[in-house]
Amino acid sequence: MSSGGRGPTHYEVLGVGRTASTAEIRRAYLTLARRHHPDLQPDGSPELGRAEEEMRRLNVAWATIGDPERRRRYDAELDGAARRAVVDDSPTRTWRPLDDDWTVDEPDDPRLDDSAYAPPPGGRSLVIGPSLLVVVGVAAGAVGLVTGLRVAIAVAVIAFALAAVVFVAAPVAAIFDSRRRDRI
């Protein structure tokens, strides 16, 4: 059994079935490790690289299914992947709208009401207003501190106060607008 297109399973790497005992898995691992161990390959040979890669695969497979707890989790993962592959490859799986009788030919249909996505009451100014007021307050405060102009410091204080008011007023206005829409 393959692992859903991701290459062979650890069982396939070791050449054992999923019902193999731990002793059978260990025996298969040792047999393959003796055959593919990189120390048995001449230095610099092309077989050395392949043997190292095969030994890595064998070690990962042994570490996973040689340990009973890891094997249990791996088996559960394989079972889940197999279920997903059956569902995802099903030829009957097609997209369809939740409500099959829904059509766009009915412009007065309440399901077409997208007012929930409309800009908040007061338009975008309540969304970006507090941020702009903070920027104005910081700029005016910086100018006031550098130049000593009391007017600039007053503008900064007023801008921060207005930003705080709008910051609180925007969600309150949105809540009231939402309640008004719910009653309609």
Domain ranges of the chain: 10-88, 120-183
139 pLDDT above the threshold of 90: yes
What would the CATH number be for the domain defined by 10-88? Answer: 1.10.287.110
Sign of CA dihedral 160, 166, 172, 175: negative
* CB-CB neighbours of 67 under 10 Å: 13
pTM of the model: 0.43
- Report pLDDT digits (tens) over 62-99: 999 999 999 999 988 888 776 665 555 445 545 445 45
Q: 46 or 22: whose pLDDT is higher? A: 22
